[in-house]
């Protein structure tokens, strides 16, 4: 490839408070300021550093494995099934127990509560009993003095398993009628009749692989027994409340006896939403048996083997269209590989249905979703939560239609966009009210110089027999809210201390995405204090109970608004107090720049806080928020599951080597809708990171199971996430500057997941490059991810 590097250069272009007694009013301010220097102006709308950035760079940010271990802590390691499917006759632990430092094992018989995890479906055992259902399923734990002793011993446990036939893919599971949940069908119009009337029809299949989360910090939990059968759990988790419930369920105790704390995660991406619960339950069961603190940290290989991935999908479709590329009918079957248990597969597969339209109006459509049970890891949440698996299939279909008609794929995509005032209702009966798709795509078309570059690429391909290039623009319309409506709620606490400093605690978790930073910005502006005066603290089930997972891109929407309401309550208390001092209405009191300003006086925030405390005014409050407007019928998947949509588009240019199948992303231009950005730097970082992660899903990150059901790509040596060299030289991100029309915090929109799907433009550009190998309108059949091998297969197929 190196000899052709020059050929891979991108084409050019573009409580109310009471009044104070007279003798209590004059409280002198502090003579010095111990807090950090304040920056002027509002906190929101400004690119501020991540609240933990300095600590992370200095290596002083504490993760679960950095917490000093309590005296007497032991370590656990999992015993993993070596068979994909079989009857578990027993285990022989004698060799493991003979090793120095080994204290014992934990098996299903040691579970005092329910032996099944407290999942929604209740179909997943805590430890395998009776049968094993995938290679890597946890049968039990070995507990030892050190982590390495525990890991070595776990590998010496002998397993007596009678092997049974295994199902190792969604098509095999579908053929065997093996499912974790019933199928779901969403239908509008008369797709069968519309297909028959269509000018043109297209049938096809698509296979899209899964994806490993590959968080930098692996799965870890530290369980500490407390007095009176209480427990403190440190967990790297996106959902402390669920950890609390799962641990209590397994121990047979009440939730109030379990406290879960998470200061931060070293990445999550959905992989620590339910999966972290397993670690916490296992560690706590060991701690109960051995009556001491237990830490359980998976090594990377075991993490791969134990935890679920993004769901692989297979698709069958028939589409009707006219001479302009307008879709006139669609029948689509989705086969979701759920692994051996349901986990979150129901809502993941539901969201894939919701997003099978992406940005396009589907007039006559039927979507059938099968949730297939296979003998693999139980697949789980991953950034996009089924959305990417819905978006990619409609984009592939439109790309194929353009190819068959000899049209520019962008024109076909523009032709099928949702309209304004017409063609504006989704297949699940939600009206698209804030549609900016057409102007956003048109602007990106211009700023990226798409048309000129497409012509230049065509000329290049005509002269270059080996290196072929492709370019594509694809949009995204992503619904924001949990599809499980009851999760769309949040709580927060805001404390103002007597020195004027502020602490906020909320139900969300920080995994590097900047949630705590944004929440601090929101609270700072609500109280009119500098950003530097606000500190976010660890997620803690003893502070904010029953919190939802930090997921569905809604962390700031939910927790930021709850924190804003909490801060507003404190501000109202202070305003009423200041109004009593100055004989004015509370509404006339302003909080700005660290000052409390009434028509009669200006005081420092710190001075007012001290005086308010002396007058027994409440300086803390809770806040609660529930997302408005949303509703939908779970049985028919119709209604309004989302509060609003986020939009975006990306233009990607690629090159492939037709002799080796190697590819490179040359140039990326992104225009993305974040509403009024609370923190532009963090938002742009999320867009860049989401895109690159999506690019990895569709190019290099391949999960391979052999015919025995063993995941063979279970380490960095065989599973390739994007590296610095994979980042395109030209990588430009612009923000669409328009406030969220819905009443969301700060006029912002969610940003965590939608950019991930912009990377589908890379996949479509790669298909364009493959299509340039030979003239004509033959379809490009290419399995995703588009690894070098799969690109080469697609080239040869041409």
Asked if residue 561 lies in contact with residue 625, where contact means CB atoms within 8 angstroms, the answer is yes
Helix, strand, or coil here: 193? helix
DSSP 559: I
Instruction: Write down the residue that tokens 């999908």 correspond to.
Output: 313
What is the C-alpha to C-alpha distance for residues 267 and 272, in angstroms, rounded to an integer? 9
Q: Which of 648, 650, 647 has its CA nearest to residue 471?
A: 650
Asked if residue 751 lies in contact with residue 758, where contact means CB atoms within 8 angstroms, the answer is no
Q: Which of 122, 121, 88, 120 has its CA nearest to residue 107?
A: 88
Q: Which stretches within 67-190 are classed as H helix?
A: 94-97, 147-154, 170-175
Q: Is 273 among the catalytic positions?
A: no
Q: Which of 701, 753, 764, 768 is catalytic?
A: 753
Residue 224 to residues 287, 288, 290, 292, 659: CA-CA distances in angstroms?
A: 7, 9, 11, 7, 57
What is the C-alpha to C-alpha distance for residues 653 and 304, in angstroms, rounded to an integer? 32
What does the angle CA 371 – CA 372 – CA 378 come to, to the nearest 5 degrees? 95
What is the C-alpha to C-alpha distance for residues 179 and 184, in angstroms, rounded to an integer? 12
What is the C-alpha to C-alpha distance for residues 685 and 691, in angstroms, rounded to an integer? 10
What is the C-alpha to C-alpha distance for residues 583 and 782, in angstroms, rounded to an integer? 74
What is the C-alpha to C-alpha distance for residues 281 and 249, in angstroms, rounded to an integer? 9
Q: Which of 249, 205, 247 has its CA nearest to residue 225?
A: 247
Residue 80 to residues 138, 281, 585, 745: CA-CA distances in angstroms?
A: 5, 16, 67, 46
DSSP of 525-558 = HHHT--GGGEEE--EETTTSTTPPPS-TT-HIII
Asked if residue 523 lies in contact with residue 534, where contact means CB atoms within 8 angstroms, the answer is yes
User: E strands along 298-372, which residues?
Assistant: 313-321, 327-337, 365-372
Burial of 254 (0-12, 13-18, 19+ CB in 10 A): exposed
Active-site amino acid positions? 753
């Amino acid at each position: 490839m190196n000899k052709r590097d020059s050929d891979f250069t991108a084409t050019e272009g573009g409580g109310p408070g009471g009044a104070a007694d007279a003798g209590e009013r004059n409280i002198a301010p502090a003579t010095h300021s111990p807090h950090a220097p304040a920056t002027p102006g509002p906190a929101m709308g400004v690119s501020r550093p991540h609240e933990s950035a300095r600590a992370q760079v200095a290596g002083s940010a504490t993760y679960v494995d950095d917490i000093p271990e309590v005296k007497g802590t032991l370590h656990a390691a999992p015993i993993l099934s070596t068979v994909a499917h079989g009857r578990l006759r027993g285990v022989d632990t004698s060799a493991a127990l003979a090793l120095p430092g080994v204290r014992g094992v934990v098996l299903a018989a040691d579970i005092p509560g329910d032996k099944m995890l407290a999942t929604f479906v209740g179909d997943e055992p805590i430890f395998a009993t009776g049968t094993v259902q995938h290679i890597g399923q946890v049968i039990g734990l070995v507990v030892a003095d050190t982590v390495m002793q525990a890991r070595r011993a776990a590998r010496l446990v002998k397993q007596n398993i009678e092997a049974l036939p295994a199902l190792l893919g969604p098509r095999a599971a579908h053929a065997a009628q093996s499912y974790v949940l019933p199928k779901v069908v969403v239908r509008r119009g008369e797709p069968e009749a519309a297909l028959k009337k269509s000018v043109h029809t297209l049938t096809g299949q698509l296979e899209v692989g899964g994806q490993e989360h590959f968080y930098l910090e692996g799965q870890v939990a530290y369980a500490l027994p407390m007095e009176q059968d209480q427990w403190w759990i440190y967990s790297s988790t996106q959902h402390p409340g669920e950890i609390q419930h799962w641990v209590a369920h397994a121990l047979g105790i009440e939730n109030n006896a379990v406290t879960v704390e998470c200061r931060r995660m070293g990445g999550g991406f959905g992989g620590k939403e339910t999966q972290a619960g397993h670690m916490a339950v296992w560690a706590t069961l060991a701690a109960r048996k051995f009556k001491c603190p237990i830490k359980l940290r998976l090594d990377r290989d075991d993490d791969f083997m134990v935890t679920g991935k993004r769901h692989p999908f297979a698709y069958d479709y028939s589409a009707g269209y006219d001479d302009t590329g307008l879709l006139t009918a669609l029948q689509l079957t989705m086969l979701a590989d759920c692994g051996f248990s349901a986990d979150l597969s129901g809502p993941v597969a539901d969201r894939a249905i919701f997003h099978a339209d992406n940005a396009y109006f589907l007039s006559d459509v039927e979507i059938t979703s099968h949730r297939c049970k296979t003998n693999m890891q139980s697949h789980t949440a991953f950034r996009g939560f089924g959305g990417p698996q819905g978006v990619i299939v409609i984009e592939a279909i439109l790309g194929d239609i353009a190819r068959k008609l000899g049209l520019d794929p962008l024109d076909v995509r523009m032709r099928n966009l949702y309209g304004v005032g017409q063609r504006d209702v989704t297949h699940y009966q939600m009206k698209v009210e804030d549609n900016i798709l057409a102007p956003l795509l048109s602007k990106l078309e211009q700023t990226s110089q798409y048309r000129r570059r497409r012509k230049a690429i065509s000329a290049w391909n005509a002269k270059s027999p080996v290196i072929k290039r492709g370019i594509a623009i694809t949009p995204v319309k992503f619904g924001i809210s949990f599809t499980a409506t009851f999760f769309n709620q949040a709580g927060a606490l805001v404390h103002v201390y007597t020195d004027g400093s502020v602490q906020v605690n909320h139900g969300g978790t920080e995994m590097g995405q900047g949630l705590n930073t944004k929440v601090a910005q929101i609270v700072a502006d609500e109280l009119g204090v500098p950003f530097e005066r606000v500190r976010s603290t660890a997620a803690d089930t003893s502070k904010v109970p029953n919190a939802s997972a930090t997921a569905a891109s809604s962390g700031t929407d939910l927790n930021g608004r709850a924190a804003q309401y909490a801060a507003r309550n404190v501000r109202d208390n202070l305003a009423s107090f200041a109004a009593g001092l100055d004989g004015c209405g509370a509404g006339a009191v302003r909080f700005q720049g660290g000052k409390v300003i009434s028509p009669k006086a200006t005081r420092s925030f710190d001075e007012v806080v001290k005086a308010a405390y002396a007058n027994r005014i409440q300086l803390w409050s809770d806040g609660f928020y529930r997302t408005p407007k949303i509703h939908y019928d779970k049985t028919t998947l119709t209604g309004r599951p989302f509060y609003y949509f986020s939009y975006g588009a990306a233009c990607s240019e690629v090159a492939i080597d037709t002799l080796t199948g190697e590819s490179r992303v040359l140039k990326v231009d992104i225009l993305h809708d974040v509403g009024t950005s609370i923190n532009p730097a963090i938002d742009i970082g999320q867009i860049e990171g989401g895109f690159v992660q999506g690019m990895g899903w569709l190019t290099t990150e391949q999960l391979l199971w052999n015919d025995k059901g063993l995941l063979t790509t279970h380490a960095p040596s065989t599973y390739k996430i994007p590296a610095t060299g994979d980042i395109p030289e030209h990588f430009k991100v612009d923000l669409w500057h328009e406030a969220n029309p819905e009443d969301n915090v700060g006029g912002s929109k969610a940003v965590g997941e939608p950019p991930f799907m912009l990377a589908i433009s890379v996949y479509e550009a790669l298909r364009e490059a493959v299509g340039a190998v030979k003239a004509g309108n033959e379809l490009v059949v290419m399995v995703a991810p588009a690894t070098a091998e799969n690109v080469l297969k697609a080239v040869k197929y041409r």
